[in-house]
Structures are given as C-alpha cells and as structure tokens.
Amino acid sequence: MSELTDSRFGPRLFVLGGINMGLIAKSSRLPLEGETVRGDEFHMSSGGKGATQAVAASRLGAKVKMFGRIGDDLFGPKLKEALLRDNIDVSGIAVDKNHHSGVGVITLDSQGRNRVMAIYGANLQCDDEQLEALRESIDDADVLILQMEIPFEVSVKAASIAKGKGVTVLLDPAPASFISEDAYSLFDVVSPNQTEAKILTDVDVNDVESAARAAKILLDRGVSVAIVKMGELGVYFASSEETGFIPPFSVEVTDTTSAGDAFHGALGVALAEGDSMGNAVRFAAAAGAMAVTRPGVQDSMPVRSEVERLYGI
C-alpha cells in the first residue's frame, strides 16, 4: 500500500446510497417453506450497502461524507448515530417524514451463509435534493462510491456530476438490476459478485476463465475496470491495460453478510491513495476477508491495522 495522498487529511470519499437497519437472525439451518425453526442468536446492526461502505472507508483512514435518506422513526436516529461514531459527515443525509427507514432482514446458517431481504423505504425517495447536496460539495471528493439501493437514475446522475469534476466513480452493482448500455461509461469501476455478474452479463461465474468472460463484457460496454468478486474463489479484475487474479485469503468464516461492502470501501480508499489497481484489489480483498471473520453489518468492518496485517504489510 502507498502512503496517504495527504498525511493531514487522508483520501476523501463521498458515498451516496442505502442506509438500513440490519435485523440479523442465526440458526443451525434455515427454515424450509412453511416451517418454523428455533433460532440461536438475534441482534441488530446498522447497515445499508452505502452506509456500511462509508464505515469501511472511514475505518481505513478516509475522510467520508454520506448522502442518502432515513425515516423519521425509531431506526433513523440510530442509523445516523452509528455513522457519527465512525467520524462520518452526515450533513448529506435527509430525514424523510413520509417513509420508514430502510430495513434489511438477514438470516444466517451455521456456516455463516446469508440470505437477505431488504425493504428500502426512505432510500427509494432519494432525488434531486441528494444530487444538489452532492453537486455543492463534489470538489471535496477524490472518489464517489455508489450502489443500487436507491433509484438508479439518481446514481447515474450523481456519476455524471462526479465524472464532470474528474472524480473517480465506483459502482457496486448490488442488488443487481438492469443497467442501460449508455450508463456504463460513467463508472470507472464496476465490481459485481458472482450472482450480480450473472444478472448483468448472463455468464455463470465459477472460475477465473468465466470471470474473465464476464469482465470482458463489462469492459466492452464502456467500464474502465471490471472486478468480479468470487468469494472463496478469489477476485478477478481487468482493464484495457491489465488483468489479474487475487487468490482468496485464508480466514475462518463467521458471517459473510458484508464482505462485499468491506471490499468496496477499501477499494475506494486504496484508489484514492493512488495505488495501482492490482494493489488496490488485493487490499480490498483483504478487507473483505477480515469482515467475514466476525458477525454484524457495520460492526464487522475492519480497521486498517487488521487489513494491513492480513495483506502482508
């Protein structure tokens, strides 16, 4: 890893995206249709892909500002307080009095494998208010991180604003849905996992060769860098200049819920610091690996010393 681009402030990341409360239940196995099983554990953890990636980036040394919407309800203040505890600027978060805060219902089996049902609520009301707030301060950003838990047309407009100012734009296409061909060129990096790659490219990703085919499709659509996350199979990345594969890190898996969020937040930090794509992807993979070793959503995001130790610095 390189040194911070500015030792006084660190990299500057903006995140526009989902802010949700995670309701997490764990049992030895998940119920079949119509069946009730006795659970083993339950807890709540502030989450949302956008907010969790913001926490990941902040814990890794970035100066982070979050944009999005929460509800005027029980969860809203808790979601904002969680971000403040991680020193994230929440001035870009609006309170929606007509819609509930986003909620993610997460079930885990004994191997830590997850299933998630998200009810996005106020997140889906993101609109020109968030875009104007972003526009007013975009000059302060090195990287803009986006996902797909808010209306995608808002994310596309945000990407256009950022690109116009020379800001690097990262898209985590989750939860995956259709992306128009003309939108791809607005994203410097698109990083699907296996499921999302299948939805976007119709390629079943199960090894490096199939990941390379999916990545090429994304590159042909105008993305500058395509990254395909394959969980325990590693990470493949490609651009017009280079391709690479990062083998998986050996860790004990507890909860895979937010591995992708740790990856994306870390990737943004590394790229903002000026790292090469290969080093940035490896750093991001180490962050994702650390995240699966503990339970929770934002709770599981690692600090920099942990990631660097696994990365091998």
Question: Catalytic annotation on 275?
Answer: no
**Contact 162/138 with Cβ under 8 angstroms?**
yes
Q: Which candidate in 73, 142, 255, 261 is catalytic?
A: 261
Which residues in 118-137 are b (16+ Cβ under 10 Å) and which e? bebbbbbbbeeebbebbbee
The two beta strands, 243-246 and 235-239, are antiparallel
Catalytic residues: 261
